[in-house]
Amino acid sequence: MKTSFSWALLLRSQRYWAAGLVVVIGVAAGSVGVAARADVLQDILTSDPAVDMVDEEFDQTNDQFAWVESTSRGKGPLWLGKVDPKTGEFVPPTGKALQVDTDALTLPKVFNGAEWAFANNDSLGNAIVYTKSTDKDKALGVATFDGNVWTPSVLANSTGSQGPIGSRDNNDTAPRIFYFNTDPLTKQKVAKWREIYNPATEAVVPNVDPPGGRWVEGLRAVIYPTQLSRKEKQIFIYYVDTGVSEQVTFDAGEKITPFMWKAPEFGDDYLVMTVIDNVSVGIYRKLNGSWQQINNLLIPSTSKPYVSSSEPFTYNGKSYLFGLSQDDPNPKSLSALSDVWVAAIDPANPYYAKVSDSTDQKRRDPEVYITCQGPYIYFQRPNPSDSSKSSIYRVPASLGIPREPPPRCN
C-alpha cells in the first residue's frame, strides 16, 4: 500500500531550532515524539582548503576514497585518500595519500569521476574505474591493487568511452562496468556494459537516458531511467545475462537517479528508490509479483523543497536515505542553496533529520561513510577562502554508534 505524508505532517517532522540547538522529531502512529537527542549542528571542514576537491568516492571496507584532481588542463591526477575510521578525518587532509594515475578526467568533462568496482579481495581486489585522457580521445581506465602496488591501465577497445560505474559485489570474480560511448553514425550516447577483465562481454544496455544507470548489488543487473514521453520517465531493470528488461514504475512523473538495494527491515527484499519530479523520493517494493509504491518522501522544508542527489544506505538493521533539499528545481544547478537531510524509508517509522548547519551554502554531491561513531555524510561546499574552488565537509547523521563495531574500531 502506498503511503504519503501531507505537508502539515511533514512540517511537524522537521527539526526545530532554538538557541543554536536542534531536536529531531519523528512521527509514528499519528503521534509526535523525540527521535534523537538535541545537538549542535556544524559543517565540519574535512579536506585541506588549499586543495580543490570534488567527487570523492568511498571504499568503506578499506577506509579509503578515490578522486580526480581537476587542473587548468581539464584533466589531472587520480588520487587515493585514506580515512581515519574512528574520526572520519581524511589522512592526510589533502586526500593525496597516493597518486594512482595521471591524466584522468572528471566533472564536467565527463559524466562522473573515479568510481569503485568491488571484487574478490583474495584474487582481484577492488579496482578504481575512471575516464582517462589519451593522445587522441578518451578511454576507460582501471587501476588494480595487488596488495602492494596500484597499477593503472587502459581497457582494450574502449576509445571514446566515458563515465564507468563499477559493480559493488564483494567477492565478485567477474566485476563489471556500465558506461557510455558515442555511436559513430548517429552521434548519440549509447549505454554499454562489460566485465572489466573480459572485453568480449561488451554489449549495449538498451533505452538508457545518459548518464543514468547503476548496478544492483547482488544481481547482474542495471537499474536506469527511460524517457517514455515528454513528461514521463520511468525506471527499468536490465538483466545483462538474459537481455531482459523489467519495468518497475508506472505512476506519473519524471523519475531520475534510481537505486535498488536489499532492505533489512523488509526481510532483505529488494526496494527501489527514485527521485520524482525533483520534489519527492518514491520507494517501491515488489508485492505479489508486481512493483508497488509503498512510500513517497517529501523533504519537510518550505524554503528548499526540491530534492537532489538522494541515495540509500543501510545501518543498524534499517534503511535510510541521504540527499539534498535545495531552492532550485534544477538538480544540476551550480548556484542552488541546499541543506543535507537524512530520512528513514519505512512508512511505519518515519524519521527526518536536517543534519547540515543553518548557514546558506551551495552544498553538492553528498556521500556516506560509516565511522566507528556512526555514519557521516560528506559533501562539497565552496572553498572557505576561494569560492571558485570546492572543499569537502562532513556532518554526523546522528543515528547512533554501530551495534556491532567492526574490528578496525577496537
DSSP codes joined into one string, 237-306:
EEETTTTEEEE---SSSBEEEEEEEEEGGGTTEEEEEEEETTTEEEEEEEETTEEEEEEEEE-S-SSS-E
Exposed e or buried b per residue across 48-84, where buried means at least 16 C-beta atoms within 10 angstroms of its C-beta:
bbebbbbbbbbbbebbbbbbbbbeeeebbbbbbbbbe
Structure confidence at residue 320 (pLDDT): 98
CB-CB contact of 155 with 168 (8 Å): no
CB-CB contact of 88 with 393 (8 Å): no
Environment class of 404 (CB within 10 Å of its CB; exposed 0-12, middle 13-18, buried 19+): exposed
Scan for cell 576561494, then name that residue.
Answer: 386
CB-CB contact of 54 with 362 (8 Å): no
403-409 long-range Cβ contacts below 8 angstroms, 24+ apart: 403/316, 403/317, 405/372, 406/85, 406/372, 408/63, 408/85, 408/372, 409/85, 409/86, 409/372
> What is the C-alpha to C-alpha distance for residues 270 and 280, in angstroms, rounded to an integer?
20
CB-CB contact of 295 with 2 (8 Å): yes
CB-CB contact of 192 with 165 (8 Å): no
Structure confidence at residue 121 (pLDDT): 59
| Domain ranges (residues) in the chain | 299-409
> What is the C-alpha to C-alpha distance for residues 379 and 392, in angstroms, rounded to an integer?
6
What phi and psi values does residue 24 have, to the nearest 5 degrees?
A: -85, 125
Beta-carbon count within 10 A of 32 CB: 12
Compute the 3-state secondary structure of the chain and give helix, strand, coil in percent, each to the nearest 5: 5, 50, 45
> What is the C-alpha to C-alpha distance for residues 369 and 85, in angstroms, rounded to an integer?
9
pTM (2 decimals)?
A: 0.90
Structure confidence at residue 37 (pLDDT): 38
**Mean pLDDT, contiguous 10-residue spans, the chain (410 residues):** 40 33 39 41 95 95 94 86 97 98 87 90 79 90 92 92 94 93 85 94 90 92 93 94 97 95 97 96 97 94 93 97 96 93 95 95 97 97 89 96 88
Beta-carbon count within 10 A of 156 CB: 9
- Cis omega before residue 402 (within 30°)? no
> What is the C-alpha to C-alpha distance for residues 257 and 271, in angstroms, rounded to an integer?
14
Structure confidence at residue 122 (pLDDT): 56
Structure confidence at residue 21 (pLDDT): 36
Q: Quick check: helix, strand or coil at residue 41? A: coil
Complete DSSP assignment for 44-82: EE-S-TTS-----EEEGGGTEEEEE---TTS-EEEEEEE
CB-CB contact of 273 with 222 (8 Å): no
